[in-house]
Amino acid sequence: MTAPLLEIRGVSKRFTKRLDVAGKIAQRLGSKIREETVHAVDAVDLSIAPGEVLGLVGESGCGKSTLGRVVAGIHGASDGQVLYDGKDIAALTGAEKRAATLAIQMIFQDPFASLNPRMRVEDIIGEAPRVHGLVSASDASNYVDEVMSKVGLDPSLKRRYPHQFSGGQRQRIGIARALAVKPKFLVCDEAIAALDVSIQAQVINLFMDLREELGLTYLFISHDLSVVEHIADRVAIMYLGRIVESAPTEALFAAPKHPYTKALLAEAPRLDQRKRDFAPIEGEIPSPLDPPPGCHFNPRCPLARADCREARQMLETISPGRAVACHHWTET
């Protein structure tokens, strides 16, 4: 196996709502107000090989977007390290830091909020390469044309503003902006969820073409199993801040091991099962403010026993490329 392009080691991200002065006084006076900490991402390990597409799947609120933002350098990790090409990004400085920052780019979910409404497309795409000296000022215009053609946009539209484009075109502008700094790794955070189905297919195909052409590696975050099944080489399932299972796509869809993955796959709507009734997973997803002890899935899990409520089972490799975090996965 080749060395991973990107490795996530024990990364956690906590958001703490600190008490203000009024809160502290109320607390002194005996109120039950306390600092609230959300464990959005809880000790996650992942590694992604060069050229691979890793699908990250989970319900909304499970922390997958936060993990993507930590990888992309938008949030700093509370604990753990993100290694790019074997080096801890947080420890890099100067030119190396910049190279690593530019190498990892993000594609956002909302094609409306992710483009600055007051900038022309040519500036949105061309600003970063110009600032970082990737192209000279005199070549910048040609470079923007080139990048726009690469993502299937007409370069003659580059003097327009984002609001003059449709959702799919805007998503292409977002992709062009990321590609303009010549990244090696793209974090796609629900990058197609906001698009019409017909446009989704086009954008997915664009991602796959770019992968071939530029040798890109992807972390593809989605809640849509069918999309992930289609494009990912490997899939990681996330539940309440933790990875519960990771496996090659085919193996995972053929034989899920973790009870949560099973439930998730069983309930995915499919054309060939249109008539059947759905049996949603029992119970609600617990609040990340106050996650259950032990395995986070235990209150909803059919296999849960006493040990599940006491100790967390770490992700354990059960066969090459396949890992699961469950005490009782063999029982199914």
Partner 1 sequence: MSDVIAPETAAPAAKVETPFRRFVSEFFESRIATVALCVLGLIILLAVLAPWITPQNPYDLAQVDVLDGRLPPGSEAFAGYTMWLGSDGSGRDLYSAILYGLRISLSVGVASGIIALAIGMAIGLLAAYAGGRTENIIMRVVDLQLSFPAALVALMLVAILGKGIDKIILALVVAQWAYYARTVRGTALVERNKEYVEAAQCLGLSRLRVVFRHILPNCLAPLIVVGTVQTAHAISLEATLSFLGVGLPQTEPSLGVLIANGFEYMLSGRYWISVFPGLALLFTVVSINLVGDQLRDVLNPRLKK
Judged by beta carbon, residue 122 or residue 233, the one nearer partner 1 is 122
Cβ distance to partner 1 smaller for residue 113 or 214: 113
Taking the C-alpha atoms of residue 278 and residue 300, their distance in angstroms, rounded to an integer, is 16
Nearer to partner 1, 100 or 324 (CB): 100
Residue type at position 77:
A
> Rounded to the nearest whole angstrom, what is the least distance from the CB of residue 102 to partner 1 in the complex?
6
| Tokens 């959005």 sit on residue | 40
Query: Smallest distance, Å, CB 241 to partner 1?
Result: 20
The residue whose two tokens read 């977007």 is 65
Nearer to partner 1, 187 or 235 (CB): 187
Which residue, 33 or 157, is less far from partner 1 as judged by CB?
157
φ, ψ of residue 200 in degrees (nearest 5):
-50, -45
Q: How far is the CB of 316 from partner 1 (least distance, A)?
A: 33
Of 100 and 304, CB closest to partner 1: 100
Cβ pair 105, 178 in contact under 8 A? yes
- Work out how close the CB of 210 gets to partner 1 at its nearest, in angstroms, rounded to a whole number: 17
DSSP 306: H
Residue carrying the six token digits 């992309």: 72
Provide the minimum distance between the beta carbon of 309 and partner 1 in the complex, in angstroms, as a whole number.
Answer: 37
Chain centroid offset of residue 304 CA: 28
Sheet holding 36-48, edge to edge: 36-48, 6-17, 79-84, 87-88
Query: Which residue ranges make up the site for partner 1 (CB under 8 A)?
Result: 20, 69, 72-74, 98, 101-102, 104-106, 108-110, 113-119, 127-128, 131-132, 137-138, 140-142, 156, 159, 161, 163-164, 174, 177-178, 181
Distance CA 235, CA 58 (A): 11
What pairing do the DSSP bridges indicate for beta strands 316-319 and 322-324? antiparallel
